[in-house]
Structures are given as structure tokens and as C-alpha cells.
Structure 1
Amino acid sequence: MLVKLKTWIACAALMTATSALASGVVAPGDVSIEDGAVTASLTGAAGSAAEGRKVFADRKLGNCLACHAVTDQSEQLFHGEVGPALDGAADRWSEAELRAIVVNSKSIFSDATIMPGFYTLDVGKDVREDLIGKTILSAEQVEDVVAYLATLKE
């Protein structure tokens, strides 16, 4: 039974990866961060700022408000103070830099940052077994969050 379950999980992972390739989505392991930036969209299309705003606030997805404050989300409770306030993020970082930060912040800031990489499989050790090989956000959700952050100007 365990062998069948492991085979099924491996097949499901392969089908997901094949589906991502067929749809033009860049797989997490294929994202190239160069000079602190990911220049190309992970999906080949621009994200939706409105959807990104939702992902940003959703405590089961991005949960960005757990660490960051942003005036645009003042209707949300409990903004964090661990990370920098993101008002003016679009003035401080380019869209390509924002994408790199969301994809894998540790490769941009340092391994010491507590911000997770939202679209990387490089997540450290002792990962819960059911989460191995999974990203926190999908490529589309990353593009949506980047589109939202790109609206945050002073």
C-alpha cells in the first residue's frame, strides 16, 4: 500500500510539473535570479494587482501582513513590524527586483532573513513530508503579488 501511495505521489508531482511546462509557467527550480532580479514573468503574463492584494492579506496564502505594514490595507487588522513597511515599495524596487524578493528572499537579503521564499523549493531542512516539493504560492499568485506591490508608491 505504501509503495502504491509513493508511486501515486511521484506521478502526481510529474503531472504537475508537466502541466506547468505545457502552460508556459517557469518551474520553481528553473527560476533564474540574476543581479537581484527575476526579469521575466513566471507565467508569461502580467499579474492582477487586485488578486495580489487579496493574496497579500490572506493569512493562509501570502500572509504578508504578519510581518509588513501597508497603508493600502488599513482595513486589515494586525499589521506586522518585523519587516519594513511596504508603502512606497514600487519606488524602492523595480518589478523584477520585487519578483526576486517574493520568489526567494533569502537569495536577495541573506539566509538570516525570516521572510520565506514563496516560490522556491530551497526551504531548508526538516520540512514537513507532505510539503516537500511544494511552494507557498503558485507562479500566478507570485505575479499577482508583484503586480500589487508595483502599485505601492509614495
Structure 2
Amino acid sequence: MSSEDKNDIIHMDIPHGRVIIKLRPDLAPKAAERIRTLAAEGFYDNVPFHRVIPGFMAQGGDPTGTGMHGSKLPDLPAEFTNKAKFERGTIGMARTSDPNSANSQFFIMFEPSPHLDGQYTIVGEVIEGMENVDKIKHGSGMSGMVKDPDRISRMRPAVGEKS
């Protein structure tokens, strides 16, 4: 894999094993750059998957684990597209009801969710390790909030890492 290709690959280690993410700057250049930057800084290390809804998605990226916070960087503008769909393994940027409020939180789809198409920024996709994502501890209730959640142990761009 060339270093140019590796620039869009993120290695995410969770309790169940490695997950390899391919960022999609062709769909969301600002969001892809944000994930890449925060991962390179170690921002996601030890961050929980605070909201996990079986059959829907696993959400992480808030260091407080409350789902109410993000990084110190400014929020991102929406980068919606009709070119890609929310399928199993798709990674979207989480946000509030304001479409321009994505920051550091992201979610990984367990199943297709066409109702999200064109409503949330698609930033990437899981290309290896989806079986590990499937094992993330589930939350309860309508919100899917997780008590004692699984955490990302380490998340870094593949550039500079040994395979």
C-alpha cells in the first residue's frame, strides 16, 4: 500500500481487535481531515463507545462519554452527499439537530439505514474488522447509552505505522 493510500487508512484498536477504516475525502474532505488529525494527535485513545444501539449503530468520539462534547476544534459544515448510502460498516459524523455541528463524534453502522442518507456526513467505511465492531458492548433503552462502555484503546492513521 502506498503512503498516499495509507493517508486515508485509520487503524482503530478496540477490546475485540483491530478495525481498519478507510476515510472518504472524496465525499467529505473536511470531516476526513478532522478524523485524520484527531487520530494522529491521539485524541480518540481511551474514548468510549457511549451510545450503542443493536441493529443500528455504535457511536463514539466524545472523550467525556456523555455524547455532549467534542474536540476543541470548531464544528464542521455538513458535507451531505447522494453518492453514498448508509450501509453496514459506513461511518458517519454524529451531530446535534444543527447539520453544521459535527466535530469529533462518529458512528459506525451495524445495518443499512436509508433514513440517514443525505442527512448526515459520510466520512468513511470499515474495510476490515467489522466482526470486532459487532462485539462492542450494547447500550440499553431508546438512547442506547452504555454503562461501563467499551473503549477505543488506540486510533491512528496507518501512515508511519508498521502493518
TM-score between the two structures when normalised by the length of structure 1: 0.25
Higher strand share: 2
Higher helix share: 1
TM-score between the two structures when normalised by the length of structure 2: 0.24
Structure with larger RCO (C-alpha < 8 A, sep 6+): 2
